[in-house]
């Protein structure tokens, strides 16, 4: 039986985009301020989950909602199970958008919306791929379990809960449509480590507060400091003008009742590629370091502006490491929180590390920094993950990619973390193609509309080859 999956996608383009638009209109950012027993990560992720499961029920699937943490449905029959893991939550939209991030719009063939590329667009492409197989009644010998989570962008609490409470055996193998083609069969480890500081400081310059960053896996787009100073606004503004011109960032300085407020604006990016962003917090500290801050503030600003600034490989931190296969460790200084009245101020450092090092080794290196009170680790850690290129799962996915694109497939190892690593034989597969512009976690996130259709055709053939 020969099926032209590209033609089948062509027949469903309008329906696929309509369903995607309706999903993108849902603000599914995590909101802990509204979390409760019925909304473990806030109401937005639950609304997206319910919407997606209702869509699946419309199309004839029997769905399950696992206590608003995650959901799934199955297709096919057989003892072996292919798991497809996608997520419906998104990182905060932030500022700097040219359009409403939750009102999708297509301009010049690009679909702009938060979640268009990470991960609602690829999720819908994969959903329609399976729908094609179902609509055509193609014979299969394995099951597909389509699983959607609601906390991938934060702590993966959705999948922790899902695997503990879903009541079914784990899928035997699977993939996540949450990265790029031709395949991601290796992922570095992922751990966030927190530097802790005291708050007491006083002198000619006193730091009252320093805040920046929305999530640990995002480069802080901006940061703001409040401080008192033995200096005039005009003098500080003159120094700031010289700094912004030299560094290529923008900033705003104001004074009210003797308190200066300074915001530096950079550019957000995915935490796995911190070099692609401009860290507003480290630039802010770099500027403030020229002044006579003392005590805890001096240590906080020194580490932020002198050590963390552009230290993407953690060389100045003293924990750099490179593995021949998985590459180099990377570091994103993601969230900053300092208050003069607090004795526990923090900087959250998100590390993507290869095999050969680990969280405790990194922690031991960080503990050598001067001026910190302690180092702690996040509750959630992902250790390095790798599926050999010889594995039939990897071989099949690469073969389909090569057939449909005419491009040579090859293995890839990334610093990003995907649900592909949830299974021992799990990978990430698409939906972004080589040469794509990566706007994940950034303002004006977009996906190429034709790329989503191309991905749907690849997913359809790949799923069928794995389960026929």
Active site residue ranges: 89, 152
Cα 156 to Cα 41, 49, 163, 380: the distances in Å are: 11, 15, 11, 8
SS (H, E, C) 207-254: EEEEEECCCCCECCCEEEEEEEECCCHHHHHHHHHHHHHHHCCEEEEE
Going by C-alpha positions, the residue among 188, 25, 50 that lies closest to residue 114 is 25
d(CA 435, CA 417): 20
Phi, psi angles (nearest 5°) of residue 337: -145, 115
Count CB-CB contacts under 10 A for residue 369: 15
**Cis peptide, bond prior to residue 391, ω within 30 of zero:** no
The two most distant CA atoms of the chain are separated, in Å, by: 80
Phi, psi angles (nearest 5°) of residue 197: -135, 155
DSSP state string for 377-446: E-S--B--EE--TTSHHHHHHHHHHHHHH-PPP---EESS--GGGGSTTEEE--EEPTT----TTSTT-E
d(CA 77, CA 47): 30
Going by C-alpha positions, the residue among 444, 399, 460 that lies closest to residue 124 is 460
d(CA 31, CA 40): 9
**Residues in CB range of 82: below 8 A, 6 or more apart:** 142, 143, 144, 145, 171, 172, 173, 174, 463, 466, 467
Cα 288 to Cα 210, 222, 247, 254, 271: the distances in Å are: 11, 15, 14, 15, 24
Phi, psi angles (nearest 5°) of residue 194: -110, 125
d(CA 287, CA 26): 39
User: Is-contact 388 128, C-beta < 8 A?
Assistant: no
| C-alpha angle 208-209-212 in degrees, rounded to nearest 5 | 165
């Amino acid at each position: 039986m020969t099926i032209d999956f590209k033609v089948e996608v062509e027949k469903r383009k309008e329906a696929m985009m309509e369903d995607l638009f309706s999903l993108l209109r849902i603000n599914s950012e995590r909101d802990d301020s509204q979390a409760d027993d019925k909304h473990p990560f806030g109401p937005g992720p639950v609304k997206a989950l319910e919407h997606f499961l209702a869509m699946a029920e419309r199309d004839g699937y029997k769905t399950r909602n696992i206590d608003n943490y995650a959901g799934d449905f199955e297709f096919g029959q057989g003892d072996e199970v292919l798991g497809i893991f996608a997520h419906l939550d998104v990182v905060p939209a932030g500022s700097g958008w040219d359009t409403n991030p939750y009102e999708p719009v297509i301009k010049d063939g690009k679909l702009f919306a938060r979640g268009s590329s990470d991960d609602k667009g690829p999720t819908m492409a994969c959903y329609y791929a399976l729908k094609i197989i179902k609509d055509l009644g193609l014979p299969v010998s394995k099951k597909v379990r389509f699983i959607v989570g609601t906390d991938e962008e934060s702590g993966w609490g959705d999948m922790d809960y899902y695997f503990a409470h879903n009541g079914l055996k784990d899928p035997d193998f699977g993939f996540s449509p949450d990265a790029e083609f031709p395949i991601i069969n290796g992922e570095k480890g992922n751990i966030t480590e927190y530097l802790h500081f005291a708050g007491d400081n006083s002198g000619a310059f006193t730091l009252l507060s320093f805040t920046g960053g929305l999530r640990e896996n995002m480069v802080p787009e901006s940061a703001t400091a409040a401080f008192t100073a033995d200096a005039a606004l005009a003098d500080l503004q003159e120094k700031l003008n010289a700094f912004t011109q030299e560094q290529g960032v923008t900033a705003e300085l104001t004074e009210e009742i003797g308190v200066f407020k300074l915001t530096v604006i950079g550019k957000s990016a995915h935490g796995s590629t911190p070099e692609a962003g401009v860290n507003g917090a480290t630039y802010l500290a770099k500027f403030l370091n020229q002044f006579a801050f003392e005590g805890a503030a001096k240590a906080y600003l020194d580490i932020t502006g002198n050590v963390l600034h552009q230290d993407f490989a953690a060389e100045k931190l003293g924990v750099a490491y490179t593995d021949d296969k998985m590459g180099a460790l990377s570091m994103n200084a993601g969230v900053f929180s300092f208050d003069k009245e607090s004795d526990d101020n923090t900087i959250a450092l998100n590390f993507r590390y290869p095999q050969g090092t680990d969280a405790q080794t990194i922690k031991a290196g960080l503990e050598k920094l001067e001026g910190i009170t302690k180092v702690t680790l996040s509750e959630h850690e992902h250790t390095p993950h790798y599926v050999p290129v010889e594995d039939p799962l990897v071989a099949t996915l690469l073969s389909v990619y090569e057939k449909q694109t005419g491009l040579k497939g090859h293995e890839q190892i990334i610093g990003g973390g995907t649900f592909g690593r949830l299974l021992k034989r799990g990978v990430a597969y698409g939906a972004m193609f080589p040469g794509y512009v990566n706007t994940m976690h950034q303002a004006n996130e977009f996906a190429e509309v034709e790329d989503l259709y191309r991905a749907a055709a690849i997913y359809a053939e790949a799923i069928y080859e794995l389960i026929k």
